[in-house]
Chain A
Amino acid sequence: MISPDAWQAIWLTIQLATLTTIILLVISTPLAWWLSQTQSRWRAPIAALVTLPLVLPPTVLGFYVLVLLGPHGWVGILTQSLGIGLLSFSFAGLLIGSIIFSLPFAVQPIQYAFESTGRRPLEVAATLRARPIDTFFTVALPLAKPGLLTAVVLSFAHTVGEFGVVLMIGGNIPGKTQVVSTQIYGHVEAMEYTQAHWLAGGMVVFSFLILLFLTRLAKRRGRIAL
């Protein structure tokens, strides 16, 4: 049924998705805030750049991450000069790939939440002499909670389902870079359809539950951004 290999892959997938989600939340919140507030002429190009992983085929993205992490890529040159070595075929490399891949899924819901709050509550806060940083943490962020929640769920789910990027930069090393999706691929390719069915079926159920959870939440709050 579910082999030790599969459990290892499931555990690794959960670790990867959790870490990706946490890091994305830290990166995306300020980025989304900036995108929602700025008048800068850099806004459009940056917004496009953030959205790019959404439209690029994962294998293309994976290929460029592979080149980037490699000995002639910027990241590769940097990590080598720092004495870390190359990050390709490591969990850290996978994490970098996942963060890039799921970036739009985290930034966009948060950005929309900030935008839909509008300027009014912030202006009110300012007239009450709240400093901008206070306004952000006590007004903007709590109001954007549904967006943040959506970002968390989508980043997590999207990382779990990620395949092309992982396949490109992972190297399929059990316990280090072999996640559920690449394992399913391996089973299908090897014509081991029974094992593939177990894992793939699990993924379907998981994805369904996530979406069900989101829809329920939306109904209850009436304003989740999905």
Chain B
Amino acid sequence: MLRITFKRLMSLLAACLVPLAAQAAEVSVAVAANFTAPMKVIAQDFENNTGHKVTLAFGATGQFYAQIKNGAPFAILLAADDATPAKLESEGFGVAGTRFTYATGKLVLWSKKADLVDNRGDILRYGKFDKIAIANPKLAPYGAAAMEVVEKMGLTSAITPKIVEGSNISQTFQFVSSENASIGFVALSQVFEGGRIKEGSGWIVPSNMHKSIKQDAVVLNAGKNNATAQALMQYLRSDKAKAVIRSFGYEL
């Protein structure tokens, strides 16, 4: 009895493995956490169009950097900044000449409460808030941009005691969306849907108030001779992909 079950199990397992073996064209991509939603759509479209398989891993760019340097088998990195791909390339982990900006992030001062944040960011001046969530400026480009905006408004010393730091932009969003912090600088892509801020109130920070938040992609050594990786990089630059990226609150 046991033997039959075991045999069945093995054949079931084999049946599962066969399609995997037949599927030759596969590409694994490390994706910055803030780009999760658009990349899922783009990868799906790409798979439907080409029949290739895309495996996505979402995480923090700094973590990916450490993993890639230690032999992680990603073919492509979609980073949350432009520094990490450049660094990987100069250190010989990325393929030279493959880097490009796939999206530019937009910063928004956001609150879950309607009518709290005005459309000029004056709330920062009047200080009618308890805590403000900002991503760690050392780690997250959105955090660095936020600090730049605050400094440009001349409010650094006024705001610093009220800052709570998220280790990345997702966590910063969590602080604000759970209302533990009443306002916070988050990525527009986190609160954007169908061409507008979907909930609460927000001030979309003019992009001339901070260095642009360029998010770069790079082909890694593991993807050097992978045609699918090249095809995906190409697809990211297509009009169809760009439309998706824009619809999620990024600029291009």
With both beta carbons as reference points, the residue of chain A lying nearest to B161 in the complex is identified as: A173
From B62, B131, B164, B174, A190 is in contact (CB under 8 Å) with B62
B171 interface residue (CB < 8 Å to A): yes
4 A-B pairs closest in CB distance: A171-B164, A189-B62, A172-B165, A88-B180
Total count of chain B residues near the partner, CB < 8 A: 24
Q: Which residues of A contact B130 (CB under 8 A)?
A: 85-86
Binary interface encoding of chain A residues 165-182 relative to chain B, with 1 for a CB under 8 A from any of its CBs, else 0: 001110111000000001
A114 interface residue (CB < 8 Å to B): no
Q: CA of A86 to CA of B66 in the docked complex: distance in angstroms?
A: 36
With both beta carbons as reference points, the residue of chain B lying nearest to A190 in the complex is identified as: B138
Besides A66-B174, A167-B167, 15 new A-B residue pairs in contact (Cβ under 8 A), listed by A number: A66-B175, A67-B178, A85-B130, A89-B181, A167-B171, A169-B180, A171-B131, A171-B164, A172-B136, A172-B165, A182-B167, A186-B136, A186-B138, A186-B167, A191-B65
Please state if B165 and A71 are interface contacts (CB–CB under 8 Å).
Answer: no
| A191: min CB distance to chain B, Å | 6
B249 interface residue (CB < 8 Å to A): no
Q: CA of A185 to CA of B168 in the docked complex: distance in angstroms?
A: 11
Q: CA of A71 to CA of B175 in the docked complex: distance in angstroms?
A: 11
**Would you list which residues of chain A between 23 and 71 have a CB under 8 Å from chain B?**
63, 66-67, 69-71
Q: CA of A172 to CA of B181 in the docked complex: distance in angstroms?
A: 14
Q: CA of A167 to CA of B168 in the docked complex: distance in angstroms?
A: 10
Q: Which residues of A contact B133 (CB under 8 A)?
A: 171
Please state if A185 and B174 are interface contacts (CB–CB under 8 Å).
Answer: no
| A77: min CB distance to chain B, Å | 12
A to B contact number (C-beta, < 8 Å): 65
With both beta carbons as reference points, the residue of chain A lying nearest to B182 in the complex is identified as: A71
B193 interface residue (CB < 8 Å to A): no
Please state if A66 and B138 are interface contacts (CB–CB under 8 Å).
Answer: no
With both beta carbons as reference points, the residue of chain A lying nearest to B164 in the complex is identified as: A171
**Would you list which residues of chain B between 119 and 141 have a CB under 8 Å from chain A?**
130-131, 133, 136, 138-139
| B184: min CB distance to chain A, Å | 11
| B61: min CB distance to chain A, Å | 8
Q: CA of A5 to CA of B163 in the docked complex: distance in angstroms?
A: 17
| A180: min CB distance to chain B, Å | 15
Q: Which residues of A contact B62 (CB under 8 A)?
A: 188-191
Show 29 A/B contacts (Cβ-Cβ < 8 Å), sorted by A.
Answer: A66-B174, A66-B175, A66-B178, A66-B180, A69-B180, A70-B180, A71-B179, A71-B180, A88-B175, A89-B131, A167-B171, A169-B180, A171-B131, A171-B165, A171-B166, A171-B175, A171-B181, A172-B136, A172-B164, A172-B165, A172-B167, A173-B164, A185-B167, A186-B136, A186-B139, A188-B63, A189-B139, A190-B138, A191-B65
B60 interface residue (CB < 8 Å to A): yes
With both beta carbons as reference points, the residue of chain B lying nearest to A167 in the complex is identified as: B167
Q: Which residues of A contact B63 (CB under 8 A)?
A: 188-189
**Would you list which residues of chain B between 175 and 223 have a CB under 8 Å from chain A?**
175, 178-181
| A152: min CB distance to chain B, Å | 30
| A126: min CB distance to chain B, Å | 51
Interface residues of B (CB under 8 A from A): 60, 62-63, 65-66, 130-131, 133, 136, 138-139, 163-168, 171, 174-175, 178-181
Q: Which residues of A contact B66 (CB under 8 A)?
A: 188, 191
From A72, A89, A188, B164 is in contact (CB under 8 Å) with A89
Q: Which residues of B contact A88 (CB under 8 A)?
A: 175, 180
Q: Which residues of A contact B65 (CB under 8 A)?
A: 191
With both beta carbons as reference points, the residue of chain A lying nearest to B179 in the complex is identified as: A71
User: Which of B66, B164, B168, B174 lies at the interface centre, i.e. has the most chain A CB atoms within 10 A of its CB?
Assistant: B164
Please state if B180 and A86 are interface contacts (CB–CB under 8 Å).
Answer: yes
User: Which of A66, A67, A191 lies at the interface centre, i.e. has the most chain B CB atoms within 10 A of its CB?
Assistant: A191
Q: CA of A169 to CA of B181 in the docked complex: distance in angstroms?
A: 11
Q: Which residues of A contact B163 (CB under 8 A)?
A: 173
Q: Which residues of B contact A89 (CB under 8 A)?
A: 131, 164, 180-181
With both beta carbons as reference points, the residue of chain A lying nearest to B133 in the complex is identified as: A171
Q: Which residues of B contact A66 (CB under 8 A)?
A: 174-175, 178, 180
| B156: min CB distance to chain A, Å | 16
Q: Which residues of A contact B171 (CB under 8 A)?
A: 167-168
Q: CA of A190 to CA of B180 in the docked complex: distance in angstroms?
A: 26
Q: CA of A138 to CA of B193 in the docked complex: distance in angstroms?
A: 66
